[in-house]
Amino acid sequence: MNMLEIDNLNVWFGRARDRVDAVKDATFTVGEGESFGLVGESGSGKSTILRAITGLVPTWSGEIKVRQDPVPKKRPKSFFKSVQMVFQDPYASLHPRHSVDQVLGETLFLHGFREIDARVVKLLDDVGLGQKFRFRYPHQLSGGQRQRVAIARALAPEPKLLLLDEPTSALDVSVQAEILNLLADLRQEHKLTYLMVSHDLSVVGHMCDRLAVMKDGEIVEVMDVAALYAMKAVHPYAQHLLQASV
């Protein structure tokens, strides 16, 4: 079964003369348990696709289906239980005056969970942080630790599909390795499906099974990782991107 189907997705910003078509006729599917990557330059529309899926951008047309259910413009609560997102910058995505306990506790409360206390403990263990970080504030955490908290928050409602928007681009390479390993473990443990955006082809190659190459809002090529490793891209732009990344 397909976890996510995107059909002829168009996303635009502005109106009339100032209209910018950020995503044009994007079509792809992500199977259950699969990890799918979106790559491209800045401004190619890869993050915009994620934002359109979660409803952070209201101006889209086309069809988005999560587990074969079309997603309406007004997202129901059940949608957010199955789809969650991790943002690029862990410094900006956590509330500076909320402790880790508050961040996770509030999320759990809003999703109607009981036994919040035990669940917070479990979430922190899952992302490898442990108890001692529970009552800390974001400024008392390093970049990698913050990203772990952001991942724990995304995992709180027990989603099936995780949208990852450049989860490691703000981190050092040594920390990036830790976070990528964590994401790989979590995917296996919780049977998650990933849709991951990155500008780094080697990261996508490491994490994903298939990937789509985007340019100027269009998906120019969908290929699997074996083709990426073999450097066999069909579209000239995709080939150019591969060459530039080696």
Residues forming contacts to other proteins in the complex (CB under 8 A) are 41-43, 143, 172-174, 176-178, 180-181, 184, 199, 201-203, 205-207, 225, 228-229, 231, 240-241, 244-246
Strand-strand pairing, 210-215 and 35-40: parallel
Nearest CB to other proteins, comparing residues 116 and 180: 180
């997705």: which residue's tokens? 9
Phi, psi of 241 (to 5 degrees): -65, -40
Nearest CB to other proteins, comparing residues 121 and 225: 225
Dist. CA 210–CA 233, nearest whole Å: 13
Nearest CB to other proteins, comparing residues 160 and 210: 210
Nearest CB to other proteins, comparing residues 68 and 142: 142
Q: How far is the CB of 173 from other proteins (least distance, A)?
A: 5
Joined together, the tokens standing for residue 131 give 């108890």
Q: How far is the CB of 124 from other proteins (least distance, A)?
A: 19
Q: How far is the CB of 204 from other proteins (least distance, A)?
A: 9
Dist. CA 153–CA 83, nearest whole Å: 12
Q: How far is the CB of 201 from other proteins (least distance, A)?
A: 6
Q: What angle do CA 39, 216, 70 make, to 5 degrees?
A: 70
